[in-house]
Structure 1
Amino acid sequence: MIEDGNTGRADRFRAEAASRGLPAREAEAWIRATVPGTFVAQGGDGPLAVRLGGDPVLPDNAPDPCHPLIARVDCPLIPLGATGLPLPAAGHLLFFADPELGLRGPMSDAVRHVPAGTPAAVRRVTAGRGPFEPQDMRTMWHHLSPPMPESFAEARWEDPDDEEYELAEELESAWTHVGGSWPTWTFALGAHPVVINDDPLRLVGDEAPDGGDWALLATWRCDERAGGLDAAVVSWMIRRQDLASSRFDRVYVHVDRA
C-alpha cells in the first residue's frame, strides 16, 4: 500500500493558493469540499483488496446478475474510515454493470454484499459483454479527493460566471501541484466522481424520486482491457441511510463516455 499523502497537504495548498493570489475564503471552501477516497491500481505486492473482472463468486441460492462483474472488493482489507463511508467490515462487495449499455438509473442488483462465511462458488454468468479480463489490484492508497472544478463552481456559486469557473480551475491546479505523484488508478471507493459530461451525484440528486443524501460508492475507469470502452466511467451511488442499513438493492448506476 502506498502511504497516505494527506499529511500537511491542506497547509501546503493554503500556501500555494496564497502565492498565486487566490482568495483564502475560496481556498478554505475547496478544502472543505474534499472527501476521503481509496484508490487501487494493478500491480504491486500488497494484499488482494480488489479484483476486477472475471466470474463472480456467488452464494448457491443467489440469482444470476443481469450484468457482468466489474469488481470484487475484500471488505476487511479496506481500512476503516479510509473511504469516508460505512462499508461492511466483513465479506465481499460485488459490483456489476455493462458500460456498453450506457446505464443510468436505479439497479437492484448492481451491488451485492456476500457476508463472510456464506457458502459461495465461482459461477459462469452470461451477461452482456462479460466476463471482462481479470485484473488483480494490489496497489492501494488513500487520500483526500477534490471535486472536479466545474462541480465545485456549480455547488459554490449560483449560476457561476466564467471568472468563477476559472477560479475553480486555478484552485484545482494549486491542489494538484502540492499533492505529489500518484499511479493511474482504475477503481476507487468513496472519493468524488470523475465527470466526463455530467456530474453523476448532481444527476441522481435531481432524478431520484425520494431525494436523500447520496454518496458515491465506487468508480470504475474503464481501460483498454474493457474491450474498446476505455473512454467510459461507471459510477455507483447510494443514499447514505441505505448504505448504513446495507440496502445495496437501492443503488443508482451511471455510465458516462467521452
Structure 2
Amino acid sequence: MNALDEYSEAARRHGVPEELLGRALRLARPRIELRAMEDSDAPVGGQYGGHPELPPDVEWDGFPGFVASVDCAAVPVGELDIPLPKDGRLLFFANNSEPSHVPGPTKEGGVVYVPAGTVTTECVPSEENASYTCEAYPLRGRLDWFMPDSNNEVADQETVRLIHPYLRDHVDETLNGELTLGGYASVIHGDPAPWPAADDEALILLAHADYTFVDTPLSCAASWLIHPRDLAEGNFGNALFHVQAYM
C-alpha cells in the first residue's frame, strides 16, 4: 500500500463518503515528513540541529540558527509535486531568537543548497550565538499525503469545507515532523503560500518547521517559501522566510 492508499484508507475509516473522497484526493498533496522516528526502519534522510556542513565560501557565525539539513538522495523528492534536486543537500536556517515584527516573507531565514560532491567543512557558531543551536540528531523521512484545512487558500474551498469535519482526527494523527518538505503550509494567522501558485510572483511552500524561540516562551510555525521560477532554476538563494508566532 502506497502513501496515497494509506491516506484513502484513513479517510474511509473516518467515514468520508466515496464521492467526497474522490473530490478530496484531487486536493491532497504529497509531502515528506522528517522525524526522529527512532523505532522506524526508514532511512536517515537528514539532520536536525547541530552544526551545518557548508562550502568554504558560505559564511555562518551561528545566526540565523541552523534548523535542519536534508539529503535529497535519501528521501523520495521525486514523489513531490514541486521540483527539488535529486541529490545534494538542502540546509534550512531561521531566526529562532524572537518573533519577527515584519509582516510577510522576509530574509530572516534562508536555504542553502549544497550540490553532491561539494567539499564542505563543519561550521561552529560563535560563543555569542551558540545558544541558537540545538543538539544534533538524525531525521528519518517518509512520504505522506495531506489535505488543506479550512485556513488554507485553495481554489476548491467547497471541498475543503465539506471534508474538514471528517478528517479532524486524522490531522491530529499526522502532525508535522521536525521538518516537512512540500505540501500545504500550516496556517496560524494567514496562508503564506496559497495553492496552486497563480504566477511567477506567487510563493510556493518549500519546507515547514515548528520550534520554540530561544529568547521567548513563544513557539512558531516557520515556512521557507520560494518563487516558482527560482525553484525551477534551483536558485535557493532567493528563498524567503515566513514566521507565525503562537503560544
* Fold shared per TM-score above 0.5: yes
AA aligned opposite 1:111: V
Q: Secondary structure at the match of 1:94?
A: strand
Cα separation, partners in 2 of 1:179 and 1:5, compared to 1, 3 Å: farther
One-letter amino acid of the structure 1 residue matched with residue 65 of structure 2: P
Cα contact 2:30–2:182 (8 A) shared by 1: yes
Per the alignment, residue 49 of structure 1 pairs with 45
Instruction: Give aligned-pair identity as a percent.
Output: 22
Which has the higher mean CA deviation after the structures are superposed, 82-91 or 176-185?
176-185
Quick check: which one's helix share is greater?
1
Return the letter of the residue paired with 1:117.
G
Residues 1:251 and 2:247 aligned together: no
Residues 62, 8 of structure 1: CA spacing in aligned structure 2 closer, same or farther, 3 A cutoff? closer
Q: Distance in 1 between matches of 2:52 and 2:139?
A: 19
Contact 1:216–1:238 (CA<8 Å) still a contact in 2? yes
Q: Which moved more, 1:242-251 or 1:74-83?
A: 74-83
Residues 1:110 and 2:110 aligned together? yes
Specify the SS of the correspondent of 2:34. Answer: strand
Q: CA RMSD in A?
A: 3.5
What amino acid is aligned across from residue 233 of structure 1 in structure 2? A
Q: Provide the rounded CA distance (Å) in 1 between the counterparts of 2:194 and 2:182.
A: 16
Secondary structure, aligned partner of 2:16: helix
* Counterpart Cα distance in 2 of 1:53 and 1:38: 18
Out of 10, 26, 30, which is 2:24 matched to? 30
Aligned with residue 86 of structure 2, among 63, 77, 89: 89
Aligned counterpart in structure 2 of residue 198 of structure 1, from 181, 190, 197: 190
Distance in 1 (CA, whole Å) between partners of 2:56 and 2:232 is 26
1:39 corresponds to 2:36:
no
For 1:243, the aligned partner's letter is L
Gaps of 5+ in 1: 158-163
Q: Would you say how many aligned residue pairs link Structure 1 and Structure 2? A: 237
Residue number among 150, 166, 169 corresponding to 1:174 in the alignment: 166
Superposed, which structure 2 residues align to 1:149-160 within 5 Å?
149-151=150-152, 155-156=155-156
One-letter identity of the residue aligned with 2:186: V
Q: Distance in 2 between the 1:12 and 1:214 partners?
A: 30
Superposed CA offset, 1:20-77 (max 9, x none) = xxxx4x6544322211100011142543312111222111122337511111111110
Unaligned regions of 5+ residues in structure 2, if any? Answer: none
C-alpha distance in structure 2 between counterparts of 1:89 and 1:80, whole Å = 7
Q: Please report how far the alpha carbon of residue 254 of structure 1 lies from its aligned counterpart in structure 2 after TM superposition.
A: 0.4
In structure 1, the partner of 2:17 is 18
Higher alpha-carbon deviation: 64-73 or 233-242: 64-73
